[in-house]
Structure 1
Amino acid sequence: MEVKKKNMGLVLAGLLLGILMASMDNTIVATAMGDIVGKLGGLDKFVWVTSAYMVAEMAGMPIFGKLSDMYGRKRFFIFGIIVFMLGSVLCGTATSIVELSIYRAIQGIGGGALVPIAFTIMFDAVPIESRGKLGGLFGAVFGLSSIFGPLLGAYLTEYAQWEWIFYINLPLGLIAFVFIAFFYHESRQHAKQTIDWAGAITLIAAVICLMFALELGGKKYAWDSWQILSLFAGFAVLTILFLIAESKAKEPIISFKMFKSQIYWSSNVIGILSGAAFITASVYIPIFIQGVLGGKPTNSGLVLLPMMLGSVVTATMGGFLMTKLKYRTIMIPTLALLIVGLGLLTTLNESTTLWTLRFFMILVGLGIGASFSVLSNAAIHSVRPQERGSASSTLNFLRSLGMTLGITVFGIIQSHMFTKKLAESMSAGGGAAGEIPKELDLKDPHALLSPELRKAIPPQILENISTAMSSSIVQTFVWAIIPAALALLAAFFMGRDKMDPHAELEGEYQAGH
């Protein structure tokens, strides 16, 4: 239903703050991890701090999306805000890495409700003639928060204390809670459906197995160890059980019939692939700045600003153009820009200037921005109103999965190339492995980000390491072009659809166009 015009601004502000908190918390911790581990210890367990949040968030997205279709958006959005703030408070009081990981999982449960339901409420509450430009705004905030997180995390860690990366959520969450609780009034009429418990349990278990395998593989355990192989086997078995459960469920959490729509399946495929390509630049450009050029955390965060600005531009433009142009007409040229930007990143070396790098990052941002606004609307385009929550949450779930797979797969590639190039340069230069400080873990690119540790490395050895780091990151960007190119290919399958008010007002589910 539509919200009264006088309350519309407050409701939208509340939704935007919810998106800002949840999506930013995916990345804000990354640049603060060095300080957190230094204060709390537990270097061998720090991967759980990130994985606990992502597991809980990804598992919760499709479930909360479905529940919001059944029992209403408002109650689950408010539930998400409360749980997210509770998790944030607990994170700030953690005294060990184990405690922090548990509290991050609580945060993740809240985050799993916030992002997909915010987009769905916007689609429900906003008059159709305004959805394009507001969809662009929502997409811009989503993209901005994904990139702004590392910068804010670096700033708070350097000039305040690490606890503030969590406490900063409290004022944002309180404002969002007040705006939605008191000014958003939704219809009481919802589709009462049976809960797909088998689907929910197998989905959560499958996601947990996959995330733990990706997080622990190559770090705590070898990829061919029985622990990692067992997790992958568990993921495969549980995924099959999930698919069986969904095919038999009367009201499945992820409805297969939605994927019969060409616009729906192509939007989800683009979301997975573009997310995997985009996250590579977000992760490895800061490492390049600090590990190769020797910059500070704030320097590396600031280099992401041009990408952030570029993404905001095309996210906003995409929103405005949705009612005028076909979805694919917007996505094809922007994804082509993403490929160009990643292609230019493959030319980086130790002599690359910051201005050149900023220009490349602007192109990457322009290339990914439209996906944040256009895909969210395209995915909901062909479904009935009572299925919007499920459709939106499935897209966000798959986009997050794409980013997670991208970080892992390209992380393996970068680590392998780094080790290979370093061995070659050390052999050619006559460097001795014994000259490398014992505390330097060459399998972890973040080990080179510490200014103190860099000072302890002899200049010749540091030059060899920096050269190997630069070469390995460039090679990673070469591989990242592949999912970007496949996303561009998928955009050609989006059909001839665009945002059409008349088609939606008919309220019909169009299964196969």
Structure 2
Amino acid sequence: MVLQEKNIKFIVAGLLLSILMAAMDNTIVATAMGTIVSDLGGFDKFVWVTSAYMVTTMAGMPIFGKLSDMYGRKRFFVFGLVVFLIGSALCGIAQSMVQLSIYRAIQGIGGGALMPIAFTIIFDIFPPEKRGKMTGLLGAVFGVSSVMGPLLGAYITEYISWHWIFYVNVPLGAVALFLILRYYQESPQHNEQKIDWWGAVTLVIAVVSLMFALELGGKQFAWDSFQIIGLFTSFGLFFIAFFFVERNAKDPIIPFWLFKKRLFASSQILAFLYGATFIILTVYIPIFVQAVYGGSATNAGFILTPMMLGSVAGSGAGGTFQTKTSFRNLMIVSVVSYFLGMYLLGTLTPDTSRTLLTVYMVIVGFGMGFSFSLLPTASLHNLEPQYRGTANSTNSFLRSFGMTLGITIFGTIQNNMFTEKLTEAFKGMSGPGGQESSMINMEDPQQLFHPEERAKIPDFILDKIVDAISDSITATFLIALVPIVLAAVFVLLMGNGRVETTKSSNGVSPPSR
């Protein structure tokens, strides 16, 4: 495909705007949820606002990736962008929590097409020697949007209106839509393939069942309730069915032969492990700052800026140097920095200075940033164009799945440790102390640790609470070292694959069936 240089710049701008919106909408709603609930009511349904978006996004990723391989990137990217904008506009005018949840599901369908296809388009329009810098740029935007989402959500909600956390997507998306429609021209030739309907159905049901089980378990329903057990059972049955369907499908949604490629398989597992651990940083560092240091909600959002800058630097470095050395060598730098940063965060105490916390976040962010640019590129390494959408959507899916599973598991661990330490701290106490400690609600720590509320708590009570929450969060960071060590093993298994800049490297075909 031959594109003029000026057209490529406009295309990249459109892709960057799209990724910024889709990635940020995973987190931007979190800090506005209290205001939304107070305005719309429906406290018992607020969990669905986040769940609906995540479920439809994850369910759509593999399917849109496959469809883009079959019928072209542009039509499905534009489709995803239009649906995302319609969903955003509808969310802004929602009059009830049920309406907002439905509109978020529509928004998520669009988001499921945007992120994986954007990275694949970059791979299609740039030669190998330029892909690294471009994927580094897209990865940096993904990292920035993931961290900036809560901060922007808090700012817009406080100074404008919660409706505008959705409306802001409309002008940005309109610009992105114009740029893609006007300047992105792809080849009309695509491989004839048969749609794997049974694979799509079983995959969607399996993903939806698992996502709802993880999102609702321990919140609206107990983990051992009939509803949650039923959802996990549904996931197991339909996932097994998906596995058998894909093994026999002529053109499967996720070709299993890809996992026989060592670099591809390692990249998928690493995306999962990095996603599972990165999410706890974005959630618990702001809580630590707000609850332990006594910062405001807005300051807690700003405190993530050093980690964001570190991830931008890491993503850029990973993109720049992937033509000079192997993916494995770069990911070794990544996992060492990531491990060191997470370990240092695990040593935090209420007496740790803000300066040290900033340094620790830069280190952990730098290690994480490499994965944003390297893992998508490694997933597509030496693959022909007709498999790139599938490969990249699988990588995006597993990273998102890791984030969902990670926050569920580590959130449960942190909450249990906090409750245990708080119980020990107030053991034998009665009266005001016990009453104050029972008011702690880690589901919404911003309410308790708001400066005005914090000032009402007696110092001897506050110290015990601060110590309990500090110890539980830092212990969670240390436990997160286990999957990072596991990630180091898979980094070593990546092999010596690297970006080839010679014109002879045009991809490989799948093994004969």
TM-score, normalised relative to structure 1: 0.96
**Partner of 2:90 in structure 1?**
90
Other structure's SS at 2:129 match:
helix
**Partner of 1:354 in structure 2?**
354
User: 1:261-410, aligned counterparts within 5 Å?
Assistant: 261-410=261-410
Contact 2:129 2:500 (C-alpha < 8 Å) held by counterparts: no
**Partner of 1:163 in structure 2?**
163
**Partner of 1:63 in structure 2?**
63
Q: Distance in 1 between matches of 2:121 and 2:206?
A: 28
Contact 1:431 1:461 (C-alpha < 8 Å) held by counterparts: no
Contact 1:221 1:228 (C-alpha < 8 Å) held by counterparts: yes
Q: Distance in 2 between matches of 1:245 and 1:478?
A: 40
Q: Distance in 2 between matches of 1:456 and 1:427?
A: 22
Other structure's SS at 1:292 match:
helix
**Partner of 2:142 in structure 1?**
142
The C-alpha deviation readout for 1:188-234, integer Å capped at 9, x for no partner, is: 00112111111111111111111111111111111111111111111
Q: Name stretches of at least 5 consecutive residues in structure 2 with no aligned partner.
A: none
Query: Alpha-carbon deviation of 1:50?
Result: 0.9
Q: Distance in 2 between matches of 1:487 and 1:357?
A: 24
1:19 aligns with 2:19: yes
Range with greater deviation from structure 2 (286-295 or 176-185): 286-295
Query: Alpha-carbon deviation of 1:442?
Result: 5.4
Query: Alpha-carbon deviation of 1:458?
Result: 4.1
**Letter aligned with residue 362 of structure 1:** V
Query: Alpha-carbon deviation of 1:444?
Result: 5.3
Query: Alpha-carbon deviation of 1:453?
Result: 4.1
Q: Distance in 2 between matches of 1:441 and 1:331?
A: 38
**Letter aligned with residue 454 of structure 1:** R
When residues 445 and 115 of structure 1 are mapped into structure 2, their CA distance, relative to the original with a 3 A threshold, is: same
Q: Distance in 2 between matches of 1:410 and 1:454?
A: 26
Q: Distance in 2 between matches of 1:14 and 1:428?
A: 61
Range with greater deviation from structure 2 (54-63 or 191-200): 191-200
When residues 112 and 302 of structure 1 are mapped into structure 2, their CA distance, relative to the original with a 3 A threshold, is: same
Q: Distance in 1 between matches of 2:429 and 2:2?
A: 69
Contact 1:261 1:510 (C-alpha < 8 Å) held by counterparts: no
User: 1:245-256, aligned counterparts within 5 Å?
Assistant: 245-256=245-256
Other structure's SS at 1:267 match:
helix
Query: Alpha-carbon deviation of 1:431?
Result: 6.0
**Partner of 1:34 in structure 2?**
34
Contact 1:258 1:511 (C-alpha < 8 Å) held by counterparts: no
**Partner of 1:186 in structure 2?**
186
**Letter aligned with residue 87 of structure 2:** G
Q: Distance in 1 between matches of 2:276 and 2:508?
A: 33
When residues 385 and 343 of structure 1 are mapped into structure 2, their CA distance, relative to the original with a 3 A threshold, is: same
Contact 1:343 1:481 (C-alpha < 8 Å) held by counterparts: yes
**Partner of 2:420 in structure 1?**
420
Aligned alpha-carbon RMSD (Å): 1.8
**Letter aligned with residue 20 of structure 2:** L
Using the aligned pairs only, state the percent identity.
Answer: 55
Other structure's SS at 1:427 match:
coil
Contact 1:133 1:320 (C-alpha < 8 Å) held by counterparts: yes
Q: Distance in 2 between matches of 1:305 and 1:2?
A: 39
Q: Distance in 1 between matches of 2:221 and 2:37?
A: 20
Query: Alpha-carbon deviation of 1:283?
Result: 0.7
Q: Distance in 1 between matches of 2:41 and 2:455?
A: 23
**Letter aligned with residue 347 of structure 1:** T
Range with greater deviation from structure 2 (146-155 or 19-28): 146-155
Query: Alpha-carbon deviation of 1:360?
Result: 0.8
Contact 1:310 1:366 (C-alpha < 8 Å) held by counterparts: yes
Query: Alpha-carbon deviation of 1:446?
Result: 5.0
**Partner of 1:196 in structure 2?**
196
Q: Distance in 1 between matches of 2:169 and 2:227?
A: 36
When residues 369 and 363 of structure 1 are mapped into structure 2, their CA distance, relative to the original with a 3 A threshold, is: same
Other structure's SS at 1:441 match:
coil
TM-score, normalised relative to structure 2: 0.96
**Partner of 2:205 in structure 1?**
205
Q: Name stretches of at least 5 consecutive residues in structure 1 with no aligned partner.
A: none
Query: Alpha-carbon deviation of 1:437?
Result: 8.2
When residues 484 and 445 of structure 1 are mapped into structure 2, their CA distance, relative to the original with a 3 A threshold, is: farther
Query: Alpha-carbon deviation of 1:153?
Result: 1.1
